[in-house]
Chains A and B, each alone.
Chain A
Amino acid sequence: MFLRLRRRALAASGWLLAGLALAGCGGPYPQTTFRPTTQYGAVENALFYNTFWWTMLVLAIVWGALLVIIFRFREKPGALEPVHVHGNTTLEILWTVGPALIVAFIAVPTIRSLFELERPAPPSALQVEVIGHQWWWEFRYPQYGNIATANEVHLIQGRTVDFIIHSADVVHSFWIPRLGGKRDVNPQPTPPGNVTRRVNHIVLTPDSVGVFWGQCAEYCGSSHADMRVRAVVQTGDGFNGWLQAYNTPPSPAAGTPEAQGKQILESHMCVACHTIKGTAAAGQIGPNLTLVGGRETIAAGVLPTSVASFERWITYPGGVKPDALMPGISEGAGGMPPTGLTPAQVRAVATYLASLRPASAAAATTAAPATVAMPATPATSGAPGAAGTPASPAPAAAPPTTNSAAHS
């Protein structure tokens, strides 16, 4: 018994230490909350550690007392009946006031941080509309012609971003752990004449260039697990390169397999849902596929981008993502009939889609500065959120602002 108990204590402390080590030294955890790359995340973590250590103190006291009790006050043969103590006012006041103080030590910084992190965005912030769909993410940039992309959101290092979050269908939750905490993606009530928008905001400033993983955190139906997202944080130049590439999308040379794929795509039902800038595809229901070949993954983070992945996806989306709302070649879905594409046609379309990437590889990811710094394009469409925004957001290659200094 003694041995068992000691083992239990050892195991518990072992786990605790291992856990802290895990938390501290990082490791290959792309969705860890322990290594935030924003001041926002750092504030959250500071709070967490404050709570963590106070509560660990309580845990140590309780578990310590338990261990002492287990060893010291075991029944001993022939021992006298223990003294019947009914209480002790001093002690009881002590362990009411003690925890109350600890609660105060936790609550005060919590409330302070709460209001700090919920501050509205400055006018210079990069606005990114985040729209949740079953089961993919739509991102719109109202300050940049309301251009839309899907599942990979491009952000600028050092420029505060204002995520404007709402849903097209059910409740989702937008979460990229290394940028900061999540916020629910709520459907907007739309009665006639109702002007109240139920949008949520997360306002934070990415400090590090890189690709950060996230995923939907509120259960949203069959493929909730497959609703993943990536944030691509670029330098101002990198972001401008991406914008430029977006606005001058690649077009396949006539006679190539890519051109054939484009023709097939444009002449089939694909265009009813998808938009590819510079083509006849202008549907608004599914993900915008402009520069889709330049994304790291397709199908909201489920498959690595490649011709084979596109083929697999187009052939039978439901086999990759259960209940995906896109029809396959022989299975209908989302109220649409099968596409009826032949394997050869699928291959051609897949080849075309994979070719839809920025001419300069740099623009697709993060590294080298693009050659031309594109001036920010003010919103031209009547998209919600565009009206009333300052005509000229921060200069494109904005120097890192306020929060970056805090990044260690």
Chain B
Amino acid sequence: MATAQAAVHAGYHPQRRTGLRDWLTTVDHKKIGILYGGTALFFLAVGGLEAMGIRTQLIRPDNHFLTAELYNEFFTMHGVTMVFLMGMPISVALFNYIVPLQIGARDVAFPRLNALSYWIFLFGGLFLYSSWFFRAAPNGGWFGYANLSERPWASGPNMDFYALGLQMLGVASIMGGVNFLTTIINLRAPGMRLMRMPLFTWMTFVTSFLLVTALPVLAVALFFLTFDRMWGTSFYLPANGGDPILWQHLFWMFGHPEVYILILPAFGIISDVVPTFSRKPLFGYAAMVYSGCLIGLISWGVWAHHMFSTGLGPIADAFFTITTMIIAIPTGVKIFNWLATMWGGQIRFTTSMLFAVGMIGAFTLGGISGVMHATSPHDWQQTDTYFVIAHFHYVLVGGTVMGIFAGSYYWFPKITGRFMSETLGKWHFWLWFVGMNLAFLPMHWIGLLGMPRRTYRYAAGLGLTDLNFAATIGAYIMGVAFIIYAWNLVRSVRRGAAAGANPWNAATLEWAMTSPPPEYNFGRVPTVRNREPLWLEGADEVVAAAQAAPPPNLHMPPPSHWPILTALGICLTLGLFLTHVWFAPIFGLAFTLLCVMNFAFEPTH
């Protein structure tokens, strides 16, 4: 087989494919990474606009900027967008682009599956957002508690869009998880032992494990909901013996690992950025790896801390109190090891490093309020209030988003061959940092002074007018910062200063080849002899190998249009379910099956 291939591809001709058709059919992990990143940033903007709507409504008591119905749709879509359409895919964008480069691979293990997960994700997002055109955006909150999400209390198609849209996004994530687990296990360069992998790759590995194990639980929960809503089952309907608490358990069994799916990639980014700009190797590498794995593992045993007020009884509450507190220990190890990495270093405060340092500070605060939640009897006061909103925005905005920002300034030169503007970058950082703290710090008090979350209005008598005003101004400042960031990205693609192969003088393998990397990544796959291949002995050989001319018989997977068509088929099928015409989905299903057949039998050589 291989010889026949060599005959067909007699000689490798590096060519930069361009044009719309190429983007739609690409199976190149780098292009898919860019697609993921662009889409996720677009959804970050959309979710941000929803946040602006929410905060504008709350700028003063009893405001009428949004109706109750719209407000409820806004906060639901804000949550769904930021978790499923921004937080996860923006990490996956970096997994895609960076991980194969970091481990010395030419692509991911299943390039077409990779394209399929992107297109399913994109169509899932569009499917969710198409609900706005039917004036039926999901309105049950991002964790869509049953039985409010059931047909007797939610008769419109709103929560059908939610259930089916999330189902698609979940499928995309599971595929991505499988792909990255396989890639990291199987496609490492010679000598790239597990304990030599960069922390970002390690955290991708743990995250992928969580994706593959957690998302199926969500799938089951969503299937139950869909069956209840469409075919009259009663999984969550108390009137027929079902139990809404079952949804809570299933959702949070997915939902807590999900939290770590969102934060572990940021941990990985910070663990790569901090050593580079401190000019020191990561402090306590093994502890960082083990603590990441431990966090992933324990994340499976803490879900009911979202349910302290559900009434599970003191024994269950005590168990989840303790497991939740234990998770603080490995997290603390990570923070202290980052500090120790910086200690004694020669720190260059590039924008990337500013975001990394800001992330460590903000995430610590978010982690600390997490320990306060774990104090379960007082969580009965905190839960479902703005104190929780403050907590998870410090963790997700201060942690994940700032981590992603750090990563994007860090890897942008690798991806485009150009630097982002440091001047705009510093404006971005400082406005974001100030805005974030102004928006989310007051929410701690807003919550403890008695304002529940998800309330479209509040009475002036609560005395929370000023704090809410401050939070809204903070949100606006974040909006300005984001616009600066978006402009910086757009302008730097064409006009940024040229960056070489390794502009930051970093230690890991992705900086060995030229920027942007050629389609085949490495001319010759280098042999890795240590944890910092570009800092320690053998660096020259590694760079020489990476930048060598590719072998003439190099085979890269050809583009395919079946991933996008299969994804389209799945989207079509689910859309046709919403028509409630029993035979309609059959057409979509037939089309999907046709695509899957072609996908399966397509020659990839």
Q: Which A residues lie at the B interface, using CB under 8 A?
A: 1, 4, 8, 11-12, 15, 19, 22-23, 27-34, 41, 43-45, 47-48, 50-52, 55-56, 58-59, 62-63, 65-66, 69-70, 73-76, 79, 81-88, 91-92, 95-96, 99-100, 103, 106-107, 110-111, 113-115, 117-118, 134, 165, 169-171, 173, 175, 177, 180-184, 186-191, 194, 198, 200, 213, 215-226, 228, 301, 322-323
Contacts from B to A (Cβ < 8 Å): 67-69, 72, 140-141, 145-148, 153, 238-245, 278-281, 283-287, 309-311, 313-314, 317-318, 321-322, 325-326, 328-329, 332-333, 335-337, 339-340, 342-349, 357, 360-361, 364-365, 368, 371-372, 374-385, 430, 433-434, 437, 441, 444-445, 448-459, 461-464
B339, A47: Cβ atoms closer than 8 Å: no
11 A-B residue pairs with Cβ-Cβ distance under 8 Å, sorted by A, are A31-B451, A69-B343, A73-B278, A96-B333, A103-B328, A110-B321, A110-B377, A177-B381, A186-B310, A191-B240, A322-B69
Contacts of B281 in A (CB 8 A): 84-86
**How many Å from the CB of A38 to the closest CB on chain B?**
12
| With A32-B448, A69-B347 as contacts: A181 and B309 at CB distance below 8 Å | yes
B313→A118 contact, CB < 8 A: yes
Bound Cα distance A181, B375 (Å): 12
**Set of chain B residues within 8 Å of A62, measured between Cβ atoms:** 335-336, 339, 360-361, 364
Task: Check if B452 sits within 8 Å of A217, measured CB to CB.
Answer: yes
Contacts of B146 in A (CB 8 A): 171
Contact in complex: A183, B339 (CB < 8 Å)? no
Is there an interface contact between A4 and B450, defined as CB atoms closer than 8 Å? no
The CA-CA distance from A50 to B372 in the complex, in Å, is 9
**Of the residues B153, B339, B384, contact of A173 by C-beta under 8 Å:** B384
**Interface residue from A23, A117, A218 paired with B448 (Cβ < 8 Å):** A23
Known contacts A173-B309, A173-B384, A323-B68; decide if A221 and B148 are in contact (CB<8 Å): yes
Nearest chain A CB to B305 CB, angstrom units:
12
Residue of B nearest to A111 (CB): B318
B361 & A63 in contact (Cβ 8 Å cutoff): yes
Does B381 contact A44, Cβ atoms closer than 8 Å?
yes
Flag if A30 contacts B368 (CB, 8 Å): no
Additional 17 contacts, C-beta under 8 A, given A47-B378, A75-B347: A30-B450, A52-B372, A63-B364, A66-B360, A82-B278, A95-B333, A103-B371, A170-B145, A171-B145, A171-B148, A180-B380, A184-B310, A191-B240, A219-B140, A219-B384, A219-B454, A225-B455
Q: Which B residues touch A79, using CB under 8 A?
A: 346
Chain A residues with CB under 8 A of B239: 190
Chain B contacts for A100, CB-based, 8 A: 329
Q: How far, in whole Å, are A33 and B445 apart by their CA atoms in the complex? A: 10
Which single residue of chain B is at the shortest CB-CB distance from A118? B314
Q: Which residue of B lies closest to A172 (CB)?
A: B148
Cβ of B137 to closest chain A Cβ, rounded Å: 14
Cβ-defined contact, B449 with A33, below 8 A: yes
| Contact (Cβ within 8 A) B437 A12 | yes
Question: In the complex, are the beta carbons of A170 and B368 less than 8 A apart?
Answer: no
Residues in A whose Cβ lies below 8 Å from that of B437? 11-12, 15
Cβ contacts under 8 Å, A52 to chain B: 372
**CB-CB under 8 A for A8 and B378, given A66-B357, A111-B322:** no
> Would you call B372 and A48 a contact (CB within 8 A)?
yes
Interface pair B452/A175, CB less than 8 Å apart: yes
Q: Tell me if B346 and A91 are in contact (CB < 8 A).
A: no
Return the 3 tightest CB-CB contacts between A and B, nearest first. A31-B450, A181-B380, A191-B241
Contacts of A224 in B (CB 8 A): 72, 452, 454-456
A219 touches B375 (CB 8 A): no
Q: How far is the CA of A24 from the CA of B257 in the complex (A)?
A: 37
Contact A82 B383 (CB under 8 A): no
A408 to B433, CA, bound (A): 41
Contact of B347 among A58, A74, A194 (CB under 8 A): A74
Q: Are B279 and A81 in contact, CB atoms less than 8 angstroms apart? A: yes
With a cutoff of 8 Å between Cβ atoms, the chain A residues found around residue B464 in the complex are 29
Contacts of A59 in B (CB 8 A): 364-365, 368
- What is the CB-to-nearest-CB distance from B244 to chain A, in angstroms, rounded to a whole number? 6
A86-B281, A224-B454 known; A73+B344 contact, CB < 8 A: yes
B377 contacts A114, CB within 8 Å?
A: yes
Residues of B within 8 A of A107 (CB): 321-322, 325
Per the bound structure, the CA–CA distance linking A302 and B309 in Å amounts to: 25
A11 CA / B470 CA spacing, docked (Å): 14
Could you tell me the distance between the alpha carbons of A184 and B310 in the complex, rounded to whole angstroms? 5
Q: Are B381 and A181 in contact (CB under 8 A)?
A: yes
A66→B364 CA distance, assembly (Å): 11
Q: Give A96's nearest chain B residue, CB to CB.
A: B333
> Is B278 touching A117 in the complex (CB atoms < 8 A)?
no
Q: Is there an interface contact between B455 and A55, defined as CB atoms closer than 8 Å? A: no
- Using known A-B contacts A114-B318, A114-B377, determine if residue A34 contacts B283 with beta carbons closer than 8 Å: no
Contact of B332 among A58, A69, A76, A170 (CB under 8 A): A58
Across-interface contacts of A215 in B (CB, < 8 A) = 452, 455
Residues of B contacting A82 in the complex (Cβ-Cβ under 8 angstroms): 278-280, 344-346
CB <8 Å contact, B346 and A73: yes
Once bound together, how far apart are the Cα atoms of A106 and B458, in whole Å? 34
Interchain CB contact under 8 A, A99 and B72? no
- CA A56 to CA B72, docked complex, whole Å: 35
B440 to chain A, nearest CB (A): 11
Chain B's closest residue to A94 (CB) is B336
Assess whether A85 is in contact with B344, with CB atoms less than 8 Å apart.
yes
Closest CB of chain A to B503's CB: distance in Å?
15
The interface residues of chain B lying within 8 Å CB-to-CB of A95 are 332-333, 336
Inter-chain contacts of B374 with A (CB < 8 A): 106, 110
On chain B, the residues within 8 Å of A226 by CB distance are: 457
Question: By the criterion CB–CB under 8 Å, are A186 and B381 in contact?
Answer: no
Closest to A57 in B: B368
Whether B430 lies near A4 (C-beta < 8 A) is yes
Q: Is the CB of B310 within 8 A of A114?
A: no
Complex Cα gap A85–B284 (Å) = 9
B368 in contact with A43 (CB, 8 Å): no
Contact A30 B344 (CB under 8 A): no
A51 touches B372 (CB 8 A): yes
Most chain A C-beta atoms within 10 Å of own C-beta, residue among B314, B385, B452: B452
B452 to A216, Cβ gap below 8 A?
Answer: yes
**A55–B371 Cα gap in the complex (Å)?**
8
Chain A residues positioned under 8 Å from B463 (CB to CB): 27-30
Report which of A23, A45, A69, A86 forms a contact with B283, defined as CB distance below 8 A.
A86
CB distance from B372 to the nearest CB of A (A): 5
A97 shortest CB reach to chain B, Å: 9
Inter-subunit contact B375/A51 (CB<8 Å): yes
Q: How far is the CB of A77 from chain B (nearest CB, A)?
A: 10
Beta-carbon nearest neighbor of B75 in chain A? A219
Most buried by A among B148, B279, B345, B381: B381
Q: How far is the CA of A75 from the CA of B505 in the complex (A)?
A: 14
Rounded to whole angstroms, the CA-CA distance of A58 and B361 in the bound complex is 12
**Within the complex, what minimum Cβ distance (angstroms) separates B428 from chain A?**
14
* A48/B375 in contact, CB under 8 A: yes
Please, which residues of chain B bring their CB within 8 A of the CB of A81?
279, 346
Given A96-B333, A103-B329, decide whether A44 and B377 contact each other with a Cβ distance below 8 A: yes
Chain B nearest CB from A405 CB (Å) reads 21
Report the minimal beta-carbon distance from B505 to chain A, rounded to whole angstroms.
11
Whole-angstrom CA separation of A173 from B388 in the bound complex: 15
